[in-house]
């Protein structure tokens, strides 16, 4: 039987909120969906509870990239929004064999309009209570429906490649995020960083002003086959440099979070000393 004190502690203990990672890019076709599904599965392999929100509401293809036939989509969740709680929301996820849960995008582009700033906030709050990480795929650029997804994110991963047009637009999008006071949350990912280009990957930090980007190698065969057969390459191509770079990223993201959580939950060195001297 739990004592009164234990019960009260249970009530007072704040629920630990999961971390939201939003993946975006200033150009289409840069690799957001490939990154979303592989990062999610890589994190799930570390024994954490992981969900994906397909925030590309109009043409989302996370379901395709994971070979999921989603019985329900975010449209069903929105129809049920007044009665929504953790349990009802859970019944709308599709489950990938890795353990990752996916809240799919609507099956018709016109339904994308049903998603509003308010209902997506409510859905995300519930998801963040239930999962360690919520990974969000987005539409290209910073549209009205993408903005709430970057504002609410704990980390924004901005994908670019080595093409001049992508870099130009990425720089502009980073400037916009700076204006919105969101720049601090952004980490750049240079996708296809080993591809032949007049711009080399080592030039990108100076161009974008981000000096600690993640580098993901170019491997079109593995990436495109994985998308086409609907098996994230971290599942069955774990030994490739491409998959290894995603595992490395997952490791870096989680260790950064552990430092943050440890930092907030542990009393500081000085406060420990202070308490000890009060006791003696």
Ligand X SMILES: Nc1ncnc2c1ncn2[C@@H]1O[C@H](COP(=O)(O)OP(=O)(O)OP(=O)(O)O)[C@@H](O)[C@H]1O
Query: Which residues contribute to the site for ligand X (CB under 6 A)?
Result: 25, 28-34, 56, 140, 191-192, 216, 218-220, 223-224, 227, 242
The Cα–Cα gap between 138 and 127 comes to 17
Residues 139, 170 contacting (CB under 8 angstroms): no
Cα of first residue to Cα of last residue in the chain, in angstroms, is 34
Q: Which residue is nearest to Mg ion (CB)?
A: 33
For tokens 């308490």, what's the residue?
275
Which of ligand X, Mg ion, none binds 185 (CB below 5-8 Å, type-dependent)?
none
If binding is defined by CB under 5 A, does position 226 make contact with Mg ion? no
Which of ligand X, Mg ion, none binds 214 (CB below 5-8 Å, type-dependent)?
none
Residues 33, 68 contacting (CB under 8 angstroms): no
The Cα–Cα gap between 216 and 247 comes to 11
CB of 210 to ligand X, least distance (A): 18
In the list 22, 25, 33, 138, the residue contacting Mg ion (rule: CB under 5 A) is 33
Which of ligand X, Mg ion, none binds 161 (CB below 5-8 Å, type-dependent)?
none
Sign of the torsion formed by the C-alpha atoms of 125, 126, 132 and 135? negative
CB of 275 to ligand X, least distance (A): 50
Which of Mg ion, ligand X, none binds 257 (CB below 5-8 Å, type-dependent)?
none
CB of 29 to ligand X, least distance (A): 4
Residues 57, 136 contacting (CB under 8 angstroms): no
User: What angle do helix axes 32-44 and 220-229 make, rounded to 10 degrees?
Assistant: 80
CB of 46 to ligand X, least distance (A): 21
Query: In terms of residues, how long is the chain?
Result: 280
Which of Mg ion, ligand X, none binds 40 (CB below 5-8 Å, type-dependent)?
none
Residues that bind Mg ion in the complex, under the rule CB under 5 A: 32-33
């Amino acid at each position: 039987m739990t004592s009164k004190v234990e019960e009260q502690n249970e009530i007072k203990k704040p629920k630990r909120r999961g971390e939201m990672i939003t993946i975006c890019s200033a150009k289409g076709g840069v690799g957001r969906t490939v990154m979303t599904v592989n990062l999610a599965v890589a994190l799930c392999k570390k024994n954490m509870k992981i969900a994906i929100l397909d925030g590309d509401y109009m043409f989302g293809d996370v379901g395709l990239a994971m070979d999921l036939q989603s019985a329900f989509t975010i449209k069903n969740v929105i129809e049920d929004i007044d009665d929504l709680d953790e349990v009802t929301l859970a019944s709308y996820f599709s489950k990938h064999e890795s353990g990752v849960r996916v809240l799919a995008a609507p099956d018709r582009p016109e339904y994308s309009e049903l998603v509003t700033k308010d209902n997506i906030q409510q859905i995300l709050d519930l998801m963040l209570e239930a999962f360690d990480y919520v990974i969000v795929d987005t539409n290209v650029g910073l549209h009205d429906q993408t903005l709430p997804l970057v504002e609410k994110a704990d980390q924004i991963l901005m994908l670019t490649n080595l093409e001049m047009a992508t870099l130009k637009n990425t720089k502009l999008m980073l400037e916009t995020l700076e204006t919105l006071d969101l720049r601090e949350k952004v980490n750049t990912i240079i996708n296809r960083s080993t591809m032949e280009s007049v711009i080399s990957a080592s030039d990108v930090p100076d161009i974008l002003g981000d000096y600690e980007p993640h580098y993901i190698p170019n491997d079109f065969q593995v990436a495109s086959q994985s998308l086409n057969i609907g098996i994230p390459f971290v599942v069955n191509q774990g030994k490739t440099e491409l998959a290894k770079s995603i595992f490395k990223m997952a490791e870096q993201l989680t260790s950064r979070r552990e430092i943050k959580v440890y930092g907030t939950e542990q009393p500081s060195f000085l406060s420990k000393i202070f308490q000890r001297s009060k006791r003696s």
